[in-house]
Structure formats: C-alpha cells, structure tokens
Amino acid sequence: MSNFTAAAEGRGTVAARSSLWESIRRCGILGMGINEEELRRKILIPAYIRTAMSSAIRNRDAGASAEAAVRAGEEADEVPEAPIVVFVNSHSGGRHGPQLTARLQQLISIEQVFDLSDTQPPHFVQYGLTCLENLADNGDNLARVIRENLRVMVAGGDGTVGWILGSLGELFVQKREPVPPAGIIPLGTGNDLSRSFGWGGSFPFAWKSAVKQSLLKAVSNPVQHLDSWHVTIIMQETEGLELPFSLKHMEEYDLTQDVDIQRELPENISCSEGVFYNYFSIGMDAQVAYGFHHLRNKKPYLAQGPMSNKV
C-alpha cells in the first residue's frame, strides 16, 4: 500500500449530502464572485513552457521540445501560485465534456487543458512532464518552480480519476517526485472518490460558474494523502480481451516473486497490473460495472447523464 496526494476540501471530512442538494449548493453562486483574471494569474503557466510541454506530448519527443523552447516575447517572469493542468473526460457529465473543455480553455489556456480522447495521462507523464523537467535541469528556474508546484485537475468520474492517479503514481516508481496533487470536477455517475474528498457528488447545474470555484479550491485547498493498491492479475489468456484503462498488460513477469500460487496454472496465461484507489471489486458487481462501461461506449445515447445512468 502506498500513499498518493490529493487536494481535498477539508482534513478528514466526508460529504454526505445528496447529489441534488450538492448541485443546488454548488450551483455557481460562489463562483460568480471570482475574478477570472486574478484566477488566471494564479494558475497560468508561462507561454513558452506550456507550448513546449504541449509540443512534447503532440510530437512524442520531450527532449527536442525542451531545446526548442524560446522565451522571446515573454513580458514577465511572473511565477503562478499554483500552475494547473486539467484532464477532461468528454464522454462524462451528460456529454457536456466538449463544452466544459472549451470553458476551461477559456479560463486557463488551450495548452493546459487536455481532452482524454486526444491525450492520455501516460503521455503527459512521459513527454509533457519530462519536457518540463528537462527545462528545469537546463537551468530554467521558472520551470523548476512550476514543476514543484504543479497541480492536476480531473474532470470525470471515479474511473477517470483512478486512471490519472495511476499514471501520476508512476512518478513514485521512477523517483521523479514530487507527484502533483489532484483535484476533481465530478462528472461521473457515483463520484464516490470526489464526494469523499469534499469535491462534491455531482456535476453542478450552473457549471460554468462552478468551474471557477473548483479551480480556486485546487489553488488554495490543503493536500491530503490517499491510499492506493497495486494489483497484479494472473489469468488464462483470452484472445480479444480488452483491458480497462486501469490495467496494463505485462510483457514480462516473474511468477516466483511475491506471488502465492495455490493451484496449478493454465498453460497459457496473461498477466496484468494496475493501481486502484477508493475501492477494488471482483465478482458480480465488477461484472455489472464492466458491462455498463461497454454498453455506454457502444450505445452512448443510453447514457446521457448520471441520473439516467443510475436508472
């Protein structure tokens, strides 16, 4: 079991409000009083850095993008208080994902908001963060400070949050700390993890204003630790099996190390591993959730939002 950091609303608090009341309470009244320019100054990454990171992800080349980063035309070396990058699951939130992405890009910048349909979290870690670290290693003090203070915002459900936390967790393995803490904009059906950490249990009705409040919370809220479980799954090899995002296939594995095998294994086996947060299920409930995931992808018109999903 390992620790992971997550930005939370209050130490040890668990939100027990209903989704409806949560939507009304967070309907955007608080967000209306937030100055957008002031918020943007707190979270905006300087243009030459965010452009280099975006280029590194797009070209799958962290080194070249870092070398090409030019500070020409940068008016000031103002250090953002809490630089943020946002990942949006455009298939969540009653299909409001594209609109939410556009709103976040308007509030922050295009280069700091990623649609998960186009950019996967492992690519951000492998190329975007590496580019930022290369800039810092080359003597860019502003890049170093941004890397140390970087935060991640996840707009999605529990599965999306777990996927991104798992990708960021690789930084522990690679000894590339600090690991950026993560905040949540709840777009899923259950949103258990978001609710437990005080980010709310549902997507607010007046989300355009509420998004500003969520970003401000990501800047100012304290950081809490979240336990995680690393799971290795050994099973009979099945042709055409699609693994969920939370699991990845292991090309090489040693069954003699840290594995208690109590019965004979089949001749052809496959091994997968993943990191889980909040809960890990096997059996009937896992089968139902997995079936719903595939049904939603195959027939998206049946999953128009959290309310219809629960029905």
Q: How far apart are CA 33 and CA 63, in angstroms?
A: 42
pLDDT digits (tens, 9 = 90+) for 256-310: 556 666 667 667 778 888 777 766 666 676 677 677 767 766 776 566 555 555 5
Residue 122 has pLDDT above 50, yes or no: yes
187 near 19, Cβ under 8 Å?
A: no
Question: What is the structure's pLDDT at 7?
Answer: 45
Helix (H, G, I), strand (E, B) or coil at 125: helix
- Binned at pLDDT 50, 70 and 90, residue 69 comes out as low
pLDDT digits (tens, 9 = 90+) for 50-67: 999 999 999 998 877 666
Exposed e or buried b per residue across 131-145, where buried means at least 16 C-beta atoms within 10 angstroms of its C-beta = bbbbbbeeebebbbe
Residue type, 192: D
Exposed e or buried b per residue across 194-231, where buried means at least 16 C-beta atoms within 10 angstroms of its C-beta = bbbbbbbbbbbeebebbbbbbbbbbbebeebebebeee
Cα 299 from chain centroid (whole Å): 25
DSSP tag of 150: -
Question: What is the structure's pLDDT at 27?
Answer: 43
Question: What is the structure's pLDDT at 71?
Answer: 55
pLDDT digits (tens, 9 = 90+) for 125-165: 999 999 999 999 998 999 999 999 999 999 998 888 888 98
Q: Please state, in angstroms and as integers, the Cα–Cα distance from residue 40 to each residue in 37, 43, 71, 83, following that order.
A: 5, 5, 20, 9
- Helices and strands in the chain, H and E counts: 14, 8
Which two tokens mark 153? 């915002």
Q: How far apart are CA 150 and CA 129, in angstroms?
A: 10
Which two tokens mark 162? 């777990």
User: Which has the closest alpha carbon to 112: 208, 6, 214, 40?
Assistant: 40
Mean pLDDT calculated for residue range 191-196: 84
User: Which has the closest alpha carbon to 167: 274, 92, 91?
Assistant: 274
Question: What is the structure's pLDDT at 68?
Answer: 66
Helix (H) or strand (E) holding 159: helix 158-173
Question: What is the structure's pLDDT at 279?
Answer: 62
Give the CA-trace dihedral at 170, 226, 157, 38, to 10 degrees: -90
Give the CA-trace dihedral at 85, 89, 93, 95, to 10 degrees: 130
User: Which has the closest alpha carbon to 109: 86, 129, 81?
Assistant: 86
Pairing of strands 151-156, 182-186: parallel
182 near 165, Cβ under 8 Å?
A: yes
